[in-house]
Amino acid sequence: TAMARTLVELFYDVVSPYSWLGFEVLCRYRQIWNIDLRFRPAFLGGIMQATGNKPPAMLPKRAEYMLKDVKRMAKYYQVPVQISEDDFQRIIGTSNLGAMRFITAIDMTQPQYLEPLSREFWIRFWSQHEDISQPENMLAVAGQAGLSSELSQKLLEMISSPAVKNRLKETTEEAIKYGAFGMPAVVAHLNGKPHLFFGSDRLELLGSVIGE
């Protein structure tokens, strides 16, 4: 009999470059591992606030290391993250809440677009260094991901709805309940128990724990 597939949840935010790395690597492993990969768009700001965590770039030595680290990982995993010192200010100056609500709205209505839409947001923010908080940019991202202009417009209207706001809030709270304090947060469900892995550099460990 076929082994039951292990549910692996990825809690992510497009403002996080490490989330993009984790997302792409898990998309690759999904082809060869016996897993059901579930994407869980959440709000990094909410997780930071609830857990008292601070962005790594707030600590100068850590920021210095992070620049090198992300560049090395981007090269190793072949993911086009472009990072420079200016990005730390850019992240602090950009509201990503609208983008995460937009992504949440697609998850609620047309989940088949969730993966390409999320990827396009990362590309727009981390490769092309564009502002993802502006409605016209969100619509452009949606177009790149293959959504019709009608659907894109509908999603834009949905981001201010209580249903979407609550869903994003609930997903964020769920991540915190699993023990998340940053992103990406990967949760594997084994024998009825959740196992949390933080970051994009623990995926081999995840594989080992789930028997891959």
Bridge partners for 186 per DSSP = 10, 197
Give the Å distances, CA to CA, from 151 to 8, 102, 111, 158, 200. Answer: 29, 11, 13, 10, 32
- How open is the CA angle 91-93-97, to the nearest 5 degrees? 75
Q: Is 160 a catalytic residue?
A: no
Catalytic entry in 16, 19, 118, 200: 16
Determine how β-strand 35-41 pairs with β-strand 6-12. parallel
In the structure encoding, which two tokens stand for residue 3, read together? 């082994």
In this structure, the number of other CB atoms found within 10 A of the CB of residue 205 comes to 12
Question: Is 24 strand, coil or helix?
Answer: helix
Q: Please give the distance of CA 135 from its chain centroid, rounded to a whole number.
A: 20
Question: Rounded distance, CA 57 to CA 14, Å?
Answer: 17
| Residues with active-site annotation | 16
